[in-house]
Structure 1
Amino acid sequence: MDADRKDGHMSIKRIEITGYRSIAYLNMEMNQITTLIGRNGSGKSNILSALNYFYKNLLTVQDEQNSFDTNNRLRNEICIRITYDLKQILKIIKRNLNDEKKEYENYYKKVLAISNHDEIIVELVKRKGKEIRWNVSYNTRQIIASLFPVYFIDSRQIELTDWTNLWNLIGDLFKFRNEDSERIQSTIRTIVESNDSSVKKKLNHLQDIFEQEHINVKRLTSRQIGQMLAEMLVGGQRFQYDEKNLREYSNGTNAFNYTTILIDILAIMKKYKLKEPIIVLDEPEISLHHTMIDQLMEKIFGAADQVQFLLSTHSARCVKMLLENEEDISAIYHVALKENYSKVRRVRNLSEQEERERIVVTESYTGSCFAKMILNVEGETELELFKNKYLRMLFPVLKEVEIVMGMSNKVVHNLTAPSKRNYQIPGLAVMDMDKVLAKKDGENAFLFTELKDYQIDREIYHYGAKRQKTLALRRRIKRMCSQCKFSYRYPLFSCDDPNFECLLDLIVEYYRNYDVFLWRNTVEGALITVENQQVFKKYVNAGGLSLEERKNTVEYWKLFQDKKNLQLNYLRMLFSGKPDYLLTKKQIKKQNPQIDENLWNVLCMVKKTSGWVSKWLEFYFLDLAEIQHSERQGFREFGRWIEADANYQQAVEAVQKDFPQLYALVHKIEVTLR
């Protein structure tokens, strides 16, 4: 029954599950490689378990405990419905019948009889206290079990040094018809007896003993005969690898070799048998190093035309390889636990237009799909901020967030943003105000820019409160940008006009609707605030700027002493920030050509320094706790200091007061993950 082909179709087209454990309802379209991803406890294993429950009961009755809805005890019914694709099977049958291959004609007719528009739907329904009910007969289920065998591999439960169960599969590959089995047995007996006359005498004596003792021997099945014949022909039963005992190899090597040989055997089976095998792999990456994961995934890609795969994985490397693959053979589903139920959403594969994304995708990007929350930031300053050890000690929620530098890189953003890949993960983009607000050249007016990649053009279809928060708010912002003439001060375009403050508030509020957190100025402006200005000046004098830089900047520091807002803008610009009007140094020079030349030189003299954020925050927290800054163990001392509830509360309230935007962002993250 040679079925030599590469068809690229699915054995199982669709799986629907209702009321099984944490699965209220699931409808999953299958592909040649279907992969489940998600955090621990999301319900991936329950999906695989439901499929296993279906197959265990296909021909026998094997009930299990705790299979019903785990959240609603009143729900008393499980339904598992699988749609099988018979198209390729029927194609082979019709071809063989046309070629007058009558060998399996009766079996072919049975398969043709169960087909309905090239597919068949098999449904299991189980009610509490009742027997399982099927929508098809036992004979039909026998055919399904034969045509679409499923093989479950759990890397944690494989007997890694004993592969004898593979012989069952090989026996199925060599299985004969009953009449052929009898003929083979007779032929073997004739050959053996003709070569050694004593064998016949021994067999006759053995049969006499059985008859005298009323012992009979259950006949071997055709599969068992096939297995024994295969063992005899290859000369043994115990598997070795590279002529060494399997016990001499690591768990990873044995798991890898076991899985790959199983795939190879099933690929051969499809070639010679009327079967569409399916392999279910639960966390195949366990114990495998990166090279072996790559080799296993390449093996799966290569065999996907012969074998259908259902994978559950926590491996960012597996996800990376699935996204890299250019063939349309895989479907990735993100599984998340929401309100105690498992929800499944299909991940968007990379399109043909996303060639750049396919080239640069790495594990660090695909790892975001396993995060509790994704924080997309612009640059290294934000990365340094959110990974600061003092902040993480004070606000442990920051440790639960995956921080990705994607807002300044469209390719990275496309790979990591939940909205882009359709991940079921909360995401928040953090950006500077200058990405959406810019002063018009030569005018005291502003240009408001809508961010790309957000469905702002659909706001016109909103209504009620949502319309007020989006379309109406955006129109108001644009009117203020074009019509309001805010008061500002030279030389740095500093501005404390209440109307300008109102504009910033409205823009922050507007983009909050799109899960974008905007700093009211820049990240530097969020770290150097009017509230912490005096402490920051202490930090500068304590080494925040070099001695030479302090000498050069002190003149204007004192000059702006009585103009707090101007001094604040000056400080921010010394540390690569921007003034209230969000201008670069070059833009200030262009729009204020009369700026004092010495001031301009001072602003350009201080080079952008890396690490100043960490140094500033360390200074701030140690100063707050009255810990000597020279102490090497300052971080540990601070940790011991906030162990006291009163001190911890003092530190949190200090951040809330002195870094209001930073605190608001942390609070937003806490609320999102709550």
Structure 2
Amino acid sequence: MSIIRLTITNCKSIDYIELNLLNNVNCFIGTNNVGKSNIMKILHFFYLNLTTKHHDLDMFNKNNPYNDELEISVEYDFTEINEKKETAQTRTIFSNLIEPTNELFERIDEYIKKYTIENRVVLSLKYNKNGTLVWSNDDYEFRSFLAVRFPIFFLESRSIDLLKWDSLWELIGTIAPFRQRVDINERIQGIFVDEDPITNNYQGVLTSILKIFNTNGIRLQKSTVYQKISQIVKLQLGGSEFSYDSHPLSTGSNGMNSFTYMKIYVDLILILFEDKYFSSALIMIDEPELHLHLKKIEDFVKSIKENKGYETTKWIFSTHSPTFAKNIIIENHNYNIFHITNNQFYNSTTITKINGFKQKKYKLISDNEANMFFSEACLFVEGDTELELFKNNRLVEIFPSILRYDIYSFEGKNDKLQLVNPNDRKSKIKYLVLLDMDKILSYVTKKNKFSISGSSYVNALKNDDIQKQEQYMYKDKFKNSFKLRKEIKNIIKNSTFTIDSSGLCLEEENERIDLIEMIQRYFCQYNLFPLQTTIEGAIITKENHHLIYQWLNTFITKKDLLKKLYSGLNTDVQKTNLLKVLLFGKTDWLNTESDSEDQNVIFYKILEKIKVIRKSLKTSSAIIDGKTSGWISIFLEWVYINKINPTGKNDKYKMRHEFQTLFPELGKVLVYLEDLV
């Protein structure tokens, strides 16, 4: 299992985190500059200091200049290496290992007995600004053992030299893959055809070269055993420069070179480690998606998984690619997804493990859903009409903070919402779910009453788990949850709401509005916002119905029929509901348009006339042919020019005030979204 836990205190952008790495595959996701790479760099710094001293003042937490010390702790699990030792003691295939097996077995036994508790050991490094490095365990041989038996390999895709791959030779030398001991004498034997001592000038040439160096005050730093191994491999393979067949790397694209380099890098580690039975590697790759198009990202995840050593190697990936994160979920079973965020005010990194994704349905996740995991904030809506609205340029101009939201349509399907809902994932992403009221209430015509309806997943009034939690809340939370829920249910149970003579409205309009406001106040604490009726009802309001009517008359062909229906109604609320139904919304009593026994007779008669007008809208210049025909964008542009910004002066305060006056419920939603971020 190698490394199973990483704890970081006062390091870079991190005040404190504790990271559980029990699963083999670990993926850090988040937007740019939130601290994903920092976690990898911190672990790499820890490893650089296991056997040498490596100073780096950039490791200190810049948020707190008065804190002079950082601490990094790594917990190791010796269970696997101990089991391998016990297995190997009964077999003979390990006799050719670099290090005598008996000596290795003794060291494993010694360290387990001396340093571990239940086969686990925590090693900590404290680093002070005065340059002191203090280990919790000062046994250098033990730290060297950890570096060899639990090595890490850190690949930063941004640092890859795409045209010169010399670092691959360094990697091979570092792995030291040979079972035999490396023993290179001062004079390498057997590399010349002619070994005649008379004609052989080999030693003389070396002596001349060394003399020139010495004369000029140059001394050669002795090569490490790893560097020697790298040189041996290059000599034996007959070269050191890389190319595609006969073409240099410069002929390849950045994407192709990056993909091939990373694949070779991983393949070398996994294949060469097959002979390192008593070592367990951790591979860290930062932003593997860099330079790669979507298909190559998928190919990379699949290709590394095909290696024999994939399952026994520990992985840490850092990415801001939804495609990469999606493929980690699809291609793996034993994995963790960690969402990395950053408090911009304090520049402090936090990390949250994202729950779920183990069920089969998550294997069908697309880039669209995966993109939500990287959001600063999410707005979840039921359909394309809402998408059209919240991506409208005029709306964004007045409420620019909407640009900070990723907007996702779950098409009214709870399973799609569950894929991305931050609440289900236990993610810290800010979000709001916008719902039609028919997901909360339905109207029973025969009883003149509302009833609680819909799924308990989005309808908190039906969710028993939420109700149990609310019983134990205190003070204001108890008042705004449990007591408010009880009050809402009592009103629904004991109140009647009668459809008026127009068939479009309820006689108890004030009572209905009071109930809706209570429902909205209750649901907002659960990041849910039920609209009074539908999104059409948030656009067509009693404050602007006259403008809707005026706009329709600029292109409609059945003006007389519309005028007769509209003028024949007595109240603003009735006229508003007429236009809501005409433009594919719902009345205040949440009508359906199906011809059922529970249908209001008066409404059904007026609906037949509305359908005639709809046909004329379909053939008009605006071509309004359903909810998603684009009528919202056309109307918003018209009302912007004629009412919100008629002078063209772009007075943001006046435009905002006018918008909120004409669209009070939509304005309420937009202000809520602003406050959320």
Say yes or no: TM over 0.5.
yes
Letter in 2 for 1:583: N
Distance in 2 (CA, whole Å) between partners of 1:199 and 1:247 is 45
3-state SS of paired residue (2:434): strand
Q: For 1:133-170, what per-residue CA distance to the aligned partner results, in whole angstroms no more than 9, with x for missing partners?
A: 10122211111111122222111111111111211222
Distance of aligned partners of 1:64 and 1:199 in 2 relative to their CA distance in 1, 3 Å threshold: farther
What pairs with 1:178-197 in structure 2 (closer than 5 Å)?
A: 180-182=181-183, 189=189, 191-192=190-191, 196-197=195-196
1:292 aligns with 2:296: yes
Distance in 1 (CA, whole Å) between partners of 2:492 and 2:232 is 85
Q: For 1:464-521, what per-residue CA distance to the aligned partner results, in whole angstroms no more than 9, with x for missing partners?
A: 2212111111111111112123354123241253222211111111111111112122
Is the 8 Å Cα contact of residues 76 and 121 (structure 2) preserved in structure 1?
yes
Indicate the residue corresponding to 2:621 in structure 1. Answer: none
What pairs with 1:300-311 in structure 2 (closer than 5 Å)?
A: 300-303=304-307, 304-311=310-317
Distance in 1 (CA, whole Å) between partners of 2:289 and 2:379 is 27
Distance of aligned partners of 1:79 and 1:174 in 2 relative to their CA distance in 1, 3 Å threshold: closer
Is the 8 Å Cα contact of residues 153 and 282 (structure 2) preserved in structure 1?
yes
Indicate the residue corresponding to 1:634 in structure 2. Answer: none
What pairs with 1:73-472 in structure 2 (closer than 5 Å)?
A: 73-99=65-91, 103-115=100-112, 116=116, 117-129=118-130, 131-136=132-137, 137-174=139-176, 180-182=181-183, 189=189, 191-192=190-191, 196-198=195-197, 201-205=200-204, 220-273=223-276, 274-303=278-307, 304-325=310-331, 327-338=332-343, 339-352=346-359, 355-359=360-364, 361-406=365-410, 408-449=412-453, 451-453=455-457, 455-457=465-467, 458-472=469-483
Distance in 2 (CA, whole Å) between partners of 1:292 and 1:252 is 8
3-state SS of paired residue (1:510): helix
Indicate the residue corresponding to 1:478 in structure 2. Answer: 489
Q: For 1:78-130, what per-residue CA distance to the aligned partner results, in whole angstroms no more than 9, with x for missing partners?
A: 11111123223223333333336563432332233222233332211123325
Moved more, 71-80 or 275-284: 71-80
Letter in 2 for 1:202: N
What pairs with 1:573-612 in structure 2 (closer than 5 Å)?
A: 573-586=581-594, 590-593=598-601, 597=605, 599-605=606-612, 606=614, 608-609=626-627, 610-612=629-631
Q: Give 2:522's match in structure 1, choosing from 495, 506, 510.
A: 510
Q: For 1:246-296, what per-residue CA distance to the aligned partner results, in whole angstroms no more than 9, with x for missing partners?
A: 111122211111111111111123211232222211111011011211111
Indicate the residue corresponding to 2:566 in structure 1. Answer: 557
Is the 8 Å Cα contact of residues 267 and 304 (structure 2) preserved in structure 1?
no
Is the 8 Å Cα contact of residues 124 and 134 (structure 1) preserved in structure 2?
yes
3-state SS of paired residue (2:289): coil
Distance in 2 (CA, whole Å) between partners of 1:20 and 1:517 is 40
3-state SS of paired residue (2:341): strand
Shift of 1:185: 5.1
Indicate the residue corresponding to 1:632 in structure 2. Answer: none
Is the 8 Å Cα contact of residues 124 and 136 (structure 2) preserved in structure 1?
yes
Letter in 2 for 1:621: Y
Indicate the residue corresponding to 2:578 in structure 1. Answer: 570
Is the 8 Å Cα contact of residues 38 and 370 (structure 1) preserved in structure 2?
yes
3-state SS of paired residue (2:280): coil
Total equivalences in the alignment:
637
Indicate the residue corresponding to 1:529 in structure 2. Answer: 541
Shift of 1:199: 8.1
Shift of 1:177: 8.2
1:15 aligns with 2:6: yes
Letter in 2 for 1:332: I
Indicate the residue corresponding to 1:630 in structure 2. Answer: none
Letter in 1 for 2:392: N
Is the 8 Å Cα contact of residues 114 and 120 (structure 1) preserved in structure 2?
no
Indicate the residue corresponding to 1:54 in structure 2. Answer: 46
Indicate the residue corresponding to 2:27 in structure 1. Answer: 35
Distance in 1 (CA, whole Å) between partners of 2:369 and 2:19 is 25
Is the 8 Å Cα contact of residues 179 and 275 (structure 2) preserved in structure 1?
no
Indicate the residue corresponding to 1:489 in structure 2. Answer: 500
Distance in 1 (CA, whole Å) between partners of 2:198 and 2:398 is 83
Is the 8 Å Cα contact of residues 23 and 343 (structure 1) preserved in structure 2?
yes
Distance in 1 (CA, whole Å) between partners of 2:347 and 2:630 is 42
Identity of aligned residues (%): 26
Distance of aligned partners of 1:199 and 1:37 in 2 relative to their CA distance in 1, 3 Å threshold: farther
Shift of 1:198: 4.5
Letter in 1 for 2:609: V
Is the 8 Å Cα contact of residues 46 and 72 (structure 2) preserved in structure 1?
yes
Shift of 1:63: 1.5
Is the 8 Å Cα contact of residues 491 and 592 (structure 1) preserved in structure 2?
no
Shift of 1:195: 5.2
Indicate the residue corresponding to 1:7 in structure 2. Answer: none
Indicate the residue corresponding to 1:547 in structure 2. Answer: 557
Letter in 1 for 2:503: L
Distance of aligned partners of 1:491 and 1:166 in 2 relative to their CA distance in 1, 3 Å threshold: same
Distance in 2 (CA, whole Å) between partners of 1:653 and 1:98 is 82
Unaligned 5+ residue runs, structure 2?
A: 616-625
Shift of 1:187: 11
Letter in 2 for 1:196: E
1:68 aligns with 2:28: no
Distance in 1 (CA, whole Å) between partners of 2:402 and 2:230 is 57
Letter in 1 for 2:19: M
Distance in 2 (CA, whole Å) between partners of 1:535 and 1:213 is 93
Letter in 2 for 1:331: N
Distance of aligned partners of 1:40 and 1:188 in 2 relative to their CA distance in 1, 3 Å threshold: closer
3-state SS of paired residue (1:294): helix
Letter in 1 for 2:438: D
